[in-house]
Amino acid sequence: MVLISKNPVHSILWLIVVFFAISGHYILINAQFIAIVNLIVYAGAIMVLFLFVVMLMNLNNASEPQKNTGVRLAGTITGGCLMLIMIDIVRSAAEVKNATAMVKEGNIGLIKTLGKVLFVDYVVPFEITSVLFLSAMIGAVVIGKKE
Amino acid sequence: MPITYYITLAIVLFCIGVVGVLTRRNAIIIFMCIELMLNAVNLLLVAFSKMQNGKALASNPASLAGIDGQLFVFFIMVVAAAEVCVGLSIIVMMFRNTHSVDVNFLNRLKN
């Protein structure tokens, strides 16, 4: 649905549905922190940003010139072959045979345990991310400003 | 739940993203497909993290094995947010210059 809808706004709304579904999966395997962050960051912030850009450009019904059918067919076949090959390889791998993901047990997904590890073992990457965010913010302002 | 189900779901999501990047020409939709691929990888990382933790919990009930996977997901989300921020401003600038989001217009970069 993200792919086949002609209108970019519909595409974005379907992508939000996909993100909510993925968050549901996170909750099901008891990774609550990741689920909430996924909802807030992806379904909240990023998708609103996309929606704003699409509406800013006012290309709701701008007809997107389609690629010719050959290219589209080739792309679809390539993606399908990739999917089949990857699934087939992974199904026969020894590591994942009879392995299960815990569904409701385990507490590593809770904010308490994740936060302890994040701010003790991963402090330096965390601070580097803040620098990355700052540079991304400055870069967006510099690129986006009217000259 | 068998890990194979999660792997299959993630691969399907990833391949939908790949097909989208290959077949569409709207720059915004290509960008959204990249987000879809990132999310497929995130789902797989969380599933594997729970798998490792489940294996380790059998011997040690207070084990934290596999928690790195979820932290990596957190960092991937942070990097994706920064990437979206810059990428969308690039798309806006491109739209301002060419009045189109068709990626084929970008081939005038080479002149």
Q: What is the pLDDT of residues A42-92, one digit of tens each?
A: 888 888 888 888 887 776 555 555 556 777 788 888 888 888 888 888 777
Task: List, for residues A91-103, the tens digit of each pLDDT value.
Answer: 777 666 666 666 6
Task: Nearest by CB to B89, from A82, A90, A143: name it.
Answer: A143
Beta-bridge mates of residue A100: B2
The token pair at A38 is 């996924």
Rounded to the nearest 10 degrees, what angle do helices A47-57 and B27-57 cross at? 170
List of chain A residues whose C-beta atoms are within 8 Å of the C-beta of residue B28? 8, 50, 53-54
Query: For the whole model, what pTM was predicted?
Result: 0.84
Task: Tell me what pLDDT residue B58 has.
Answer: 73
CA–CA gap between residue A19 and residue A1 (Å, rounded): 13
Task: Tell me what pLDDT residue A2 has.
Answer: 60
Residue A19 and residue B39: Cβ atoms within 8 Å?
Answer: yes
CA angle A74, A77, A81 (to 5 degrees): 140
Q: B21-30 burial, b if ≥16 CB within 10 A, otherwise e?
A: bbbbbbbbbb
CB within 8 A of B97, min separation 6: which ones? none
Task: Tell me what pLDDT residue A101 has.
Answer: 65
Residue B51 and residue A102: Cβ atoms within 8 Å?
Answer: yes
Task: Tell me what pLDDT residue A88 has.
Answer: 82
CA–CA gap between residue B76 and residue B72 (Å, rounded): 6
Summarize the confidence of residues A15-34 as an average pLDDT: 87
Do A7 and A64 form a contact (C-beta atoms < 8 A)?
Answer: no
Complex ipTM, two decimals?
A: 0.83
pLDDT over threshold 70, residue A39? yes
Residue A3 and residue B26: Cβ atoms within 8 Å?
Answer: no
3 state DSSP class of B53: helix
Task: Tell me what pLDDT residue A60 has.
Answer: 54
Residue A49 and residue B85: Cβ atoms within 8 Å?
Answer: yes
Percentage with pLDDT > 90 across chain B: 5
CA–CA gap between residue A94 and residue A90 (Å, rounded): 9
A12 or B63: whose pLDDT is higher? A12
Closest approach of A147 to chain B, Cα-based (Å): 11
Task: Nearest by CB to A102, from B19, B50, B89: name it.
Answer: B50
Task: Nearest by CB to A79, from B19, B25, B55: name it.
Answer: B19
Percentage with pLDDT > 70 across chain A: 78
